[in-house]
């Protein structure tokens, strides 16, 4: 399979300074306003197509100076993302209509195409003379065609670059096939015990630290209608760190397991298991600790590795 390219995302951590972070948040405020305006257009029955929204964007930029201060590329990409989300709400099962993005519970996300960013001296240069240091955990295989700058629940900033890379030949499988069955005691039980994914209990090990942070939040919570204190926000961030750490450990283990399974088997049969009902049983806590839903979504990782390796997949 040499010479065949695939489109992938490479995500790197960003280290924005105080001025750069303020500029990113200002840009997000403009894009969020445009998103909410598009939602209003849809709710009032005006059928906001991308062409119609682009025309409204041009009119809004001519009227509002604060909107012209932002990047037109980021604003156009926001409307393009909204158009895709609206289209998916009609075609993809379970997708709802795009909703209003509120300041208090929506995380910043900015999209830039090649016209809106460049990489110079290892730094990400964005419109408005904004330069951000990038933690290059690995080299990009090609010139990026677009970048998504976003902030997670911990306040960390990331850049997700869309690049092209060559697909390499996968190793020869040493086993004809394997079956995967999802469960509680063993998260993924296979027909070959050597490839089982055991219940690792990452969230259980973090339970004491999580409970401590939640007790601190309860003590420092102000009455309804009052702004949260700095101590409450600090405790909230600490609880988020603990939860994110356990979630990332589960995701990492699922990825390693998925790659190991696909590298050694030519045929993979996976149970089509729906773990939603476990939330209403006595096994809810252990199921959440094992992140069965996340590991089930690792089936997507299996499918992705299978596609690259040329394996057969059945569910």
Q: Which residue, 28, 49, 27, 29, is CA-closest to 38?
A: 49
pTM of the prediction? Answer: 0.82
Share of the chain above pLDDT 70, in %: 89
Tell me the angle at which helices 292-309 and 230-264 cross, rounded to the nearest 10 degrees.
40
Residue 270, beta-bridge partner list: 180
Q: What are the angstrom distances between the C-alpha of 276 and each of 160, 190, 271, 280, 313? A: 31, 21, 15, 8, 24
- pLDDT reported for residue 304: 58
Question: Is it the case that residue 310 has pLDDT exceeding 60?
Answer: no
Q: What mean pLDDT value characterizes the chain? A: 86
DSSP lists the bridge partners of residue 124 as 119, 132
pLDDT digits (tens, 9 = 90+) for 144-160: 999 999 999 889 999 99
CA–CA separation, 143 and 166 (whole Å): 13
pLDDT digits (tens, 9 = 90+) for 202-228: 888 888 999 999 999 999 999 988 989
Angle between the 207-220 and 230-264 helix axes, to the nearest 10 degrees? 150
Task: Parse the chain into domains and list their residue ranges.
Answer: 5-166, 175-314
Beta sheet of 186-190, edge-to-edge order: 197-198, 186-190, 175-182, 265-270, 312-314
- Distance CA(60)–CA(64), nearest Å, equals 6
């Amino acid at each position: 399979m040499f010479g065949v390219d695939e489109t992938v995302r490479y995500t790197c951590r960003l280290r924005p300074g105080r001025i750069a972070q303020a500029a990113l948040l200002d840009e997000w405020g403009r894009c969020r306003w445009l998103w909410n305006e598009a939602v209003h257009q849809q709710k009032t029955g005006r059928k906001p197509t991308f062409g119609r929204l682009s025309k409204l964007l041009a009119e809004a930029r001519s009227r509002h100076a604060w909107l012209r201060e932002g990047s037109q590329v980021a604003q156009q990409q926001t409307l393009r993302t909204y158009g895709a989300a609206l289209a998916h709400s009609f075609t993809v099962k379970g997708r709802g209509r795009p909703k209003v993005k509120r300041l208090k519970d929506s995380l910043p996300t900015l999209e830039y195409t090649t016209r809106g960013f460049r990489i110079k001296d290892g730094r990400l240069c964005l419109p408005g003379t904004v330069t951000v240091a990038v933690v290059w955990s690995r080299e990009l295989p090609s010139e990026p065609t677009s970048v998504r700058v976003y902030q997670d629940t911990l306040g960390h900033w990331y850049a997700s670059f869309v690049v092209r890379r060559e697909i390499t030949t996968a190793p020869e499988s040493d086993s004809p096939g394997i079956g995967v069955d999802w469960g509680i005691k063993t998260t993924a039980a296979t027909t070959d015990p050597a490839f089982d994914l055991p219940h690792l209990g990452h969230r259980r090990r973090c339970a004491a630290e999580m409970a401590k942070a939640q007790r601190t939040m309860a003590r420092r919570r102000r009455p309804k209608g009052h702004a949260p204190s700095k101590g409450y926000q600090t405790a909230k961030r600490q609880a988020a760190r603990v939860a994110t750490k356990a979630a990332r450990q589960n995701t990492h283990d699922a990825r390693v397991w998925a790659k190991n399974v696909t590298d050694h088997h030519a045929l993979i049969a996976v149970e089509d298991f729906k773990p939603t009902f476990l939330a209403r049983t006595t096994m809810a806590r252990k199921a959440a600790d094992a992140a069965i839903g996340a590991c089930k979504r690792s089936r997507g990782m299996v499918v992705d590795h299978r596609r690259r390796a040329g394996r057969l997949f059945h569910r």
